[in-house]
């Protein structure tokens, strides 16, 4: 029998199973669909009240389909909760909302394999991390090492990572292993403000600040959960070294989000849209304003794909210099690159009918299973899409794989990371960056951060237990764990 956990008036949350919880439409006036939270009871109890408030607000938006979702890493965000997923039908007045995408448009993850071992890398970890910090700028306002004009930047907006291929920063194999091959269609630079262009054109090849990072990780034998799938993804042996990159569209995407939020707040009355939270400002996807924002958002998403690709080129150069080997000798290959702040047109089945929906993922990751083979690189068609889940610089991260069940239940979506349990300000009050840095080094993790305050914000204690999050995802059936990855070196924004 379903059990109930009181959230306080005017409603309650119903247990569907041990890892799925539902808030009915009776919880709040205006809800069009239920809200569903994927989490264990322990993780549910760790979620702040803002998650329940926000996910039920999302459930009130026009054109929403099936349910509003929140993943086990969920926590309070702007508009949508972080970990929020919602799909809208444009033919039914479905909207597009910057609050359901995030200001750092296409903040995302990529994982890179090497054939180097812990025995080769550990003695040079300080040299390697320091060289990466120097090569890949980090911190607020940093400028990238790729120098292009504002006009050239418009080509980046249109072509994304494919621009990198044309200019020697990518291989054809790289492009095949990026979501949408590194280029979101429909990008139109004319829909982007000059202010946004000014903020973004010199930031390609930069990590930025906050929770963004470039991390050197080790594959331990006991952390390989599916050896067969791991090998297909390029994880072939214990002690192997991999590199994880987490960053997005920087100030460029932030400005685009800011610009269109203002626009949407002004036009909602024209379309008769009423929202429960002004942070969910939106417009019908098929309206001129909605289409303009999507075209601008695609520009930012493409910039982010290019940004991570250029960073990959920097990583390859540094590894080659430090280890005095060619890229071919080190087999530095891209496993996958996936967005976790984006809205995309995808086909999904709702009530037995296939519809083209605008799927918003905000702090959530696409997780296609083998049934979506036509959308995946050849080598992943039988196993499903790689999913990269970032933890913290103390605890490590995960490589997962998508499932067909996620396609059926959550619009092929899963979590994106561990999820915060502590605000940045609270973390700075609780932890000291310099002490944390010394403690991590004693534990075999060398961290080079832009600021000590930034390190304090990203302490492992500020995040949920990544193992619990991944366990909930797997037991809910929406992703399958493949490998856990342990940090040994980190460049922190």
Question: Looking at the annotation, which residues are catalytic?
Answer: 416
Closest by Cα among 200, 202, 244, 201 to 219: 244
CA dihedral 220, 224, 227, 230 (to 10 degrees): -90
CA distance 168 to 154: 18
Cα 379 to chain center, whole Å? 22
CA distance 309 to 172: 12
- DSSP bridge pairs for 237: none
Place of tokens 């036509």: 374
From residue 358, give the alpha-carbon distance in Å to each of 44, 85, 191, 289, 398: 27, 11, 19, 15, 27
The radius of gyration of the chain's CA atoms, rounded to the nearest angstrom, is 21
Coil/strand/helix, residue 365: strand
Half-sphere exposure of 222 (CA within 13 A, CB side): 1
**At CA 454, angle to CA 450 and CA 458, rounded to 5?**
125
CA distance 351 to 263: 34
């Amino acid at each position: 029998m379903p059990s109930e956990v009181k959230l306080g008036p005017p409603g309650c949350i119903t247990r569907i199973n041990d890892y799925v919880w539902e808030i009915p439409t009776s919880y709040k006036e205006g809800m069009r669909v239920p809200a569903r939270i994927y989490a264990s009871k322990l993780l549910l109890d760790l979620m702040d009240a803002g998650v329940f408030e926000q996910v039920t607000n999302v459930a009130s938006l026009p054109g929403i389909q099936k349910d509003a979702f929140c993943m086990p890493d969920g926590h309070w965000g702007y508009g949508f909760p972080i970990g929020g997923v919602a799909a809208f039908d444009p033919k039914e007045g479905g909207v597009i909302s910057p609050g359901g995408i995030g200001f750092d448009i296409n903040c995302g993850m990529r994982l890179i394999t090497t054939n180097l071992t812990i025995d080769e890398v550990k003695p040079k970890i300080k040299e390697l991390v320091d060289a990466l910090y120097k090569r890949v700028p980090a911190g607020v306002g940093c400028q990238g090492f790729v120098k292009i004009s504002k006009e050239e930047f418009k080509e980046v907006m249109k072509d994304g990572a494919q621009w990198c291929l044309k200019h020697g920063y990518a291989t054809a194999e790289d492009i095949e292993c990026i979501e949408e091959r590194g280029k979101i269609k429909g990008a139109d630079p004319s829909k982007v403000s000059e202010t946004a262009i000014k903020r973004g054109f010199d930031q390609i090849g930069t990590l930025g600040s906050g929770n963004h990072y470039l991390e050197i990780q080790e594959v331990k034998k006991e952390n390989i959960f599916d050896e067969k799938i791991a090998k297909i993804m390029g994880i072939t042996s214990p002690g192997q070294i991999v590199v994880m990159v987490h960053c997005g569209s920087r100030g460029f995407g932030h400005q685009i989000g800011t610009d269109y939020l203002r626009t949407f707040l002004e036009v909602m009355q024209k379309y008769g849209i009423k929202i429960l939270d002004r942070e969910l400002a939106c417009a019908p996807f098929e309206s001129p304003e909605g289409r303009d924002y999507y075209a601008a958002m695609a520009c930012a998403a493409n910039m982010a794909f290019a940004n991570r690709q250029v960073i990959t080129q920097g990583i390859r150069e540094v590894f080659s210099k430090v280890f005095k080997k060619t890229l071919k000798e080190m087999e530095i290959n891209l496993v996958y690159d996936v967005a976790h702040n984006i809205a995309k047109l995808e086909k999904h089945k709702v009530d037995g009918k296939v519809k083209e929906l605008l799927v918003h993922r905000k702090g959530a990751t696409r997780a296609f299973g083998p049934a979506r083979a036509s959308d995946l690189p050849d080598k992943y068609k039988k196993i499903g899409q790689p999913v990269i889940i970032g933890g913290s610089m103390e605890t490590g991260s995960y490589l997962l794989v998508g499932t067909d069940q996620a396609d059926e239940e959550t619009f092929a979506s899963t979590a994106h990371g561990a999820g915060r349990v502590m605000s940045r300000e609270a973390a700075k009050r609780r932890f000291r960056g310099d002490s944390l840095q010394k403690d991590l080094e004693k534990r075999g993790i060398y961290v080079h951060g832009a600021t000590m305050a930034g390190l304090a914000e990203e302490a492992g204690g500020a995040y949920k237990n990544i193992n619990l999050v991944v366990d909930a995802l797997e037991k809910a059936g929406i992703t399958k764990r493949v490998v856990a990855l342990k940090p040994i070196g980190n460049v922190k924004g």
